[in-house]
Amino acid sequence: MCGLVGIVGNSDVAVSLYDTLTVLQHRGQDAAGIATCDNGKLSLRKDNGLVKDVFRTRHMRRLIGRMGIGHVRYPTAGSSSPALAQPFYVNSPYGLCLAHNGNLTNSATLAEELYSEDLRHINTDSDSEVLLNIFAHELQQVGRVAPSADDVFKAVQGVHRRCRGGYVALVMITGYGIVGFRDKNGIRPLVFGKRELNGHTEYMLASESVALDSQGFTLVRDVAPGEAVYIDAKGNLHTQICAEPAPYTPCIFEHVYFARPDSLMDGISVYKARLRMGERLADKVKRLRPDHDIDVVIPIPDTSRTSALELANRLGVKYREGFVKNRYIGRTFIMPGQSERRKSVRQKLNAIELEFRGKNVLLVDDSIVRGTTCKQIIQMARDAGARKVYFASAAPPVRYPNVYGIDMPAASELIAYDKTEEQVQELIGADWLVFQDLEDLIAASHEGNPKITQFECAVFNGQYITGDVDDNYLKALEASRNDAAKKQQRRKPEEPADEA
């Protein structure tokens, strides 16, 4: 999962891009980058690390221009080399910079086509480089000295014809504008907004609406599935649907975990969706254990707080903050290996003993993926003196890999894979474990926007909406992207990050 931002303004945009990336930092902590354009000249800075560490004053002074794009990354495909930080650049046609979120499910086939048919060289194992070169080839077929909006849309149409998967991308065309486009199923999120500044209209494209809020932009709407939004260098807005109609299926895991609660996605308030998750989970607890002996509900910070609060209210049980979080430790779900995740939990959380001693505690988390974190947290609660430790997940069991841009590639690394809920309960060491039902999770999001009738829920039900994911694909994906493979990739010599 990654975070994207693009701005076409009337003054230098680098500081706004930087500030926006800090707001989107929750979407990726592996690498960050910004590319700007000034009178046909590109400036680029990218590297591994958090936004605050990648950009120094000397870098910001060189990032001049009235339009630019930014990216924060965590690796789902490819290694973690600084050379894989984005934006990516290719010089033909026009000079293109791309920032990408998601995964192409036919990346390997496309890479072969690019070499044998389009005569383009792919230098990394990143599907983002594949996507950039596909767009570049399609745009080059237009053959104009100066591309029009229609030319850009034709290129996006070519991308959608060739690419499969869940993806959004921002492409800056040097000297001409920025185009953002979204996969035809709308799996990955993208919004755009505008602001009036000194009598001029400026536009922003971003992964989440909170990015617009932070810079004083007003949300116009979500980019529709298969749609392209092009803002030319003069600040003119152009939009067009560039793909054949397909089922509108946004990723529900955005609502569960990834997105900030103050964001709106596809017309759905993430905050209210999480409140409804808590309500429905409370109803399930009451159905299963009407005479429960829960003394206190404690969230595992931060993502589960909203659901936990509503769950406690509906149960009529005290809500307490029982864990103090070290905010300088990254999100453990995004950590690249199991050993690093195990090590970081105790550094990240500390229990307040007064809230646990002698009590029956219901811990609430947004989901259980690998199970490493919740197992340790349950033990922390016991060490703090809890009499019984119950555990509630605001999401159903995660039993299947994700192929659309979330780092769940290996089924064998998912604690609920091929296991019953009772077996998971035993593995994590809880006295009782309750998962959200999938239909309740879907209803919690659907209520926010009744026009969206289905969601991408493959990690829960194994149904891959693009129709091109089979057992052979999943086996190959697991072999290349499990924790052991990532560990091997991190041993490779790292190349220096591009900087212009």
Per-residue pLDDT tens for 5-34? 999 999 999 999 999 999 999 999 999 999
Active site residue 37: no
- pLDDT value for 312: 98
- pLDDT value for 346: 75
pTM of the model: 0.92
Per-residue pLDDT tens for 339-349? 555 556 778 89
What are residue 38's DSSP bridge partners? 41
**Buried/exposed code over 207-223 (b: 16+ C-beta within 10 A; e: otherwise):** bbbbbbbbbebebbebb
Q: Which CATH code, of 3.40.50.300, 3.40.190.290, 3.40.50.620, 3.40.50.2020, is assigned to 273-326+345-447?
A: 3.40.50.2020
Per-residue pLDDT tens for 388-436? 999 999 999 999 999 999 887 689 899 999 999 999 999 999 999 999 9
Residue 366 marked ligand-binding: yes
* Statement: 3-246 belongs to CATH 3.30.70.600: no
Average of per-residue pLDDT across 230-242: 97
- pLDDT value for 342: 53
| Beta-sheet pairing, 67-73 with 88-90 | unpaired
Q: Is residue 234 scored above 50 in pLDDT?
A: yes
Give the count of beta carbons closer than 10 Å to the beta carbon of residue 121.
10
- pLDDT value for 494: 43
- pLDDT value for 499: 40
**Can you tell me the distance from the alpha carbon of 154 to that of 141, in angstroms, rounded to the nearest whole number?**
9
**Can you tell me the distance from the alpha carbon of 22 to that of 93, in angstroms, rounded to the nearest whole number?**
31
What are residue 200's DSSP bridge partners? 197
Average of per-residue pLDDT across 252-257: 96
Residue 36 marked ligand-binding: no
- pLDDT value for 125: 87
Per-residue pLDDT tens for 265-288? 999 999 999 999 999 999 999 999
**Can you tell me the distance from the alpha carbon of 372 to that of 125, in angstroms, rounded to the nearest whole number?**
29
Give the count of beta carbons closer than 10 Å to the beta carbon of residue 351.
19
Per-residue pLDDT tens for 27-62? 999 999 999 999 999 999 999 999 999 999 999 999
The active-site residue, picked from 2, 163, 251, 374, is 2
What residues does each domain of the chain span? 3-246, 273-326+345-447
Q: Is residue 331 scored above 80 in pLDDT?
A: no
Residue 365 marked ligand-binding: yes
* Closest to 83 in 3D by CA, of 53, 49, 47, 36: 47
* Residue 461 backbone dihedrals phi, psi, to 5 degrees: -120, -5
| DSSP symbols for 151-204 | HHHHHHHHHHHH--EEEEEEEEETTTEEEEEE-TT--S--EEEEEEETTEEEEE
Average of per-residue pLDDT across 80-107: 93
Q: Is residue 496 scored above 60 in pLDDT?
A: no
Q: Is residue 482 scored above 80 in pLDDT?
A: no
Average of per-residue pLDDT across 313-333: 84
